[in-house]
Amino acid sequence: MSALHKLAAVKNGPEASWDDNHMKLLARMNDEEIEILQLPSPKYSAKNISTELCRIPVQKDHIMSSPWRLGICAMEDKALSKANQEIFRRLHVDGLIEVVLFGDKTLLSKRPEEWPICDFLIAFYSDGFPLEKAISYTKLRSPLCYNDLLMQGLLFDRRLCNRVLDYLGVRTPKRLEVNRDGGPRAYDWGLVQHVYDRMGLGIPGPREREATYERFHPPRVSLSEDGNTLLVDGRTLHKPFVEKPVSAEDHNIYIYFPTTPQGAGGGRRLFRKVGNKCSEYDPDLIIPRCITEQGTTSSYVYEPLLNADNGEDVKAYAVGPQYCFAVTRKSPAVTGVVLRDASGKEVRLPTEVSKEEADAAAKISTGFGQSVCGFDIVRNKGKSYVIDVNGWTSVKNQPRFYAQCADILQQMLMSHVAKQIAKN
């Protein structure tokens, strides 16, 4: 029986349990000298961005034999979340695919040379994740990567992320940037080259700090006399608008409302959920931080506040270029109260994905090189706007998504294995 037919037969049997035997923390490798390969980045045509698994090319044929090891390279609080476990346990197939969790101790305390050797790798950033070590590991071991680790570096800066979305032709809100940090830049030249090789997009590279600020002139920023319009180097944005820190890790997002005969102005502070709260209204939130923090290097992105249809945001989840799942939730810009069901779970309801949203999902997954990638949408007057890209995320309490996601990830793995077998 071929590997592909064997996989199909196993999948039709009882569901595999992802217990301690399947979720292995491998012991330390034998102590031996390992030469770290200095390998070039993969190259893709700007007009034909690769949709296959990311692979750093090796200098000799890489012949795999089953069981194939699929490494989960992520912080334990994310890898062991209920939603991700639902996906990862479905990927395990006895005798065919072995799922291996690296674990925090391995990621943080051991050198990449000591990490488990895997044929395939799911790796994604969260707070505390050693991204540089993970990139070194992929260069050393050359696994087939479900997530392009270098491209994840673009997600740290909202400005760089927006530039990629613009280049991909994904609809985003109009925006103003207040840059006092020298402007958006890749953290190293390797990322600059990788982005250009992958998709033909040029992004600014790092500079010496002194050279950056010697040539950089901070923007002229002011607020109109009535306090309702932000002016940045002669460009204007009227309230209500959204203020986002340029760091995607900073979730302190503010909304500013206009003062009118019908409205008292003020603003709303958005933040990560605390109990049943996700935002709060502040009547004194009038002057944007780009004005109150002048003289600092604080930088912000400003966008018009789009009134979400039905007062709902859309959380979308792309799995490769062919599948997108989405749920709605009550927008934190509306009341700031998390809507929960009788069992205490946040209410998130599946929603149909429009053609425009499906196209955006395909572009985001392919362009950023992330086989699984979450992103946020605001639907406004029949149009959909992408307002954030999150990298690997998994929706809670949605078995249909877990099954579809695992099935597609398995298909990607087996498709590559079949090609390798055909070559040899």
Q: Give tens-digit pLDDT for 64-111.
A: 567 899 999 999 999 999 999 999 999 998 888 999 999 999 999 999
- Give the pLDDT band (50/70/90) at residue 57: very low
Contact indicator for 315, 327 with CB cutoff of 8 Å: yes
d(CA 420, CA 63): 7
Higher-pLDDT residue of 30 and 198 is 198
d(CA 395, CA 382): 24
For residue 324, which phi and psi values (nearest 5 degrees)? -140, 130
3-state helix, strand, coil in the chain (%, to 5): 30, 25, 45
Mean pLDDT of 267-289: 94
Token look-up 């009882």 returns: 14
d(CA 97, CA 93): 5
Domains 3-147+401-423 and 174-180+218-304 share a fold: no
Bridge partners of 312?
330
In this prediction, residue 94 carries a pLDDT of 86
How many of the other CB atoms lie within 10 Å of CB of 308? 20
Q: Give tens-digit pLDDT for 212-227.
A: 555 668 899 999 999 9
- Give the pLDDT band (50/70/90) at residue 295: confident
* % of residues, the chain, pLDDT over 90: 69
- Give the pLDDT band (50/70/90) at residue 1: very low
In this prediction, residue 423 carries a pLDDT of 78
In this prediction, residue 214 carries a pLDDT of 53
- CATH C-level class of 174-180+218-304: alpha beta
Q: Give tens-digit pLDDT for 248-268.
A: 999 999 999 999 988 889 999
Q: Give tens-digit pLDDT for 178-187.
A: 999 989 999 8
In this prediction, residue 181 carries a pLDDT of 92
Q: Over 80: is that where the pLDDT of 62 sits?
A: no
Q: Over 60: is that where the pLDDT of 5 sits?
A: no
d(CA 255, CA 252): 10
Residue ranges covered by each domain of the chain: 3-147+401-423, 174-180+218-304, 309-397
d(CA 262, CA 286): 16
Q: Over 80: is that where the pLDDT of 209 sits?
A: no
The pTM for the full model equals 0.83
Q: Give tens-digit pLDDT for 315-348.
A: 999 999 999 999 999 999 888 888 888 888 888 9
In this prediction, residue 95 carries a pLDDT of 84
* Domain 309-397, CATH among 1.10.8.100, 3.40.50.300, 3.30.470.20, 3.40.190.10: 3.30.470.20
In this prediction, residue 23 carries a pLDDT of 36
Higher-pLDDT residue of 53 and 352 is 352
Q: Over 70: is that where the pLDDT of 133 sits?
A: yes
Q: Over 60: is that where the pLDDT of 115 sits?
A: yes
d(CA 373, CA 368): 9
Indicate the helix (H) or strand (E) that contains 379: strand 372-380
Amino acid at 102: F
In this prediction, residue 48 carries a pLDDT of 40
In this prediction, residue 262 carries a pLDDT of 86
- Give the pLDDT band (50/70/90) at residue 273: confident
Indicate the helix (H) or strand (E) that contains 235: strand 235-238
Mean pLDDT of 392-399: 92
d(CA 245, CA 216): 19
* % of residues, the chain, pLDDT over 70: 82
Of 10-14, 15-19, 207-211, 246-250, give the range with the top mean pLDDT.
Answer: 246-250
In this prediction, residue 159 carries a pLDDT of 98
d(CA 254, CA 348): 23
* Domain 3-147+401-423, CATH among 3.40.50.11950, 3.30.1360.10, 3.10.200.10, 3.30.1370.30: 3.40.50.11950
Indicate the helix (H) or strand (E) that contains 357: helix 355-367
Q: Where are the alpha helices (DSSP H) in 237-376?
A: 289-292, 355-367
Task: Name the least confident of 5-9, 287-291, 294-298.
Answer: 5-9
Mean pLDDT of 304-319: 96
Q: Where are the alpha helices (DSSP H) in 145-299?
A: 149-152, 158-168, 189-199, 209-215, 289-292
How many of the other CB atoms lie within 10 Å of CB of 84? 21
